[in-house]
Amino acid sequence: MDDIQRIDQMVALLRAMKSNKKKLQKLSAVDLTALTPKAANKRNADADWLGMDNIRLEHQLHALAVELGFAERREAYDPIELRDGWHRYHYQPPEPFSQHKGSASA
């Protein structure tokens, strides 16, 4: 992948992150006391999923930033555990300059 492709990929990831942040703002503005218990649980689950996706996007952006020379390489790229209210997901952050992309598995 050349630098132009990396920049294009970063732009796409930043757009996705911006979209997630807007959705989180809308969810945060919702008054939970006005919702039914089921609707409140759905709102919380949606917020959890968006938060986990933002963490994944941040790791992907970091890897691209290192490849482009904007950021320093971390000491380790160990798997992390993402949790929502019920589930645990193991996520392997992508390492810069590798063909392996991070993935989530249940």
pLDDT in tens, 59-106: 999 999 999 999 999 999 999 999 877 788 899 999 998 754 444 444
Decide if 94 contacts 63 (C-beta within 8 A).
yes
Q: What is the token pair recorded at 47?
A: 């917020």
Residue 31, pLDDT > 90, answer yes
pLDDT at 99: 53
Query: How large is the average pLDDT for residues 41-54?
Result: 93
- Tell me the C-alpha to C-alpha distance, in Å, between residue 93 and each of 27, 28, 41, 67, 103: 27, 27, 28, 14, 7
**Overall pTM surpassing 0.95 (yes/no):** no
Place of tokens 């930033």: 65
